[in-house]
Amino acid sequence: MKRTVQLSRGMCFAMLVLALVSPHLASPKLVLRFLPEDVCEAGKNHPVPSFPKRLLCHFLLVMAALYVVRAYKDISDDIRREKLSFFDAYKRLLAFIMIEKVFDIVCLDQILCMSTKYYQHCYPETKDCAGWKNRAWNNKNQAVRLVLYPVLCAVQAYLMTGGERT
């Protein structure tokens, strides 16, 4: 389980780095689509970074995606190698994804996006948008994920262990 937590923390770190550098490297359409609708609309005409910067951003996105795939493979290999029971495998998979989800909701959405005004600094044309004051702007999406993730982890744990309870 310790390795699972370390891998999940690594995924959180990658997400934080991407959230911090993407406003400087990526197209505003890519960055702002994760923010409230009025913020997206206000920032859509923000200057697009140069091609080398956008290329660097896409490279970082690919590297982060590869890290996630590798981390998930490591966890899956550990589950099979250790011959974990369904419940132990479920706990491990759920811990991996829920650490990331809690980090996303608390640190990225509520602190970085809504409290620090970091994105308002990067996109000054969005400064007066009402969306910055609406802390519940993506509650529905997050709630759906918080409900689906345990179910998906149960299915994955079942497939990896054959449902064995030993």
Q: What is the pLDDT of residues 71-108, one digit of tens each?
A: 999 999 999 999 999 999 999 999 999 999 999 999 99
Q: Which pLDDT score is estimated for 164?
A: 64
Q: Is residue 132 part of a domain?
A: yes
User: Residue 82 in 3-state DSSP?
Assistant: coil
Q: Is residue 94 part of a domain?
A: yes
* Contact indicator for 112, 94 with CB cutoff of 8 Å: no
Q: Is residue 166 part of a domain?
A: no
Q: Is residue 24 part of a domain?
A: yes
Q: Tell me the mean pLDDT in the region 121-148.
A: 88
pLDDT at 46 over 90: yes
Distance (Å) of CA 154 to CA 94, 132, 161: 8, 36, 10
Out of 9-23, 50-64, 126-140, which region has the weakest mean confidence (pLDDT)? 126-140
Q: What is the mean pLDDT of the chain?
A: 91
| Buried-exposed string 12-38: b where 16+ CB fall within 10 A, e elsewhere | bebbeebbeebbebbbbebbbebbbeb
pLDDT at 69 over 90: yes
Domain containing residue 31 = 2-161
**Number of structural domains in the chain:** 1
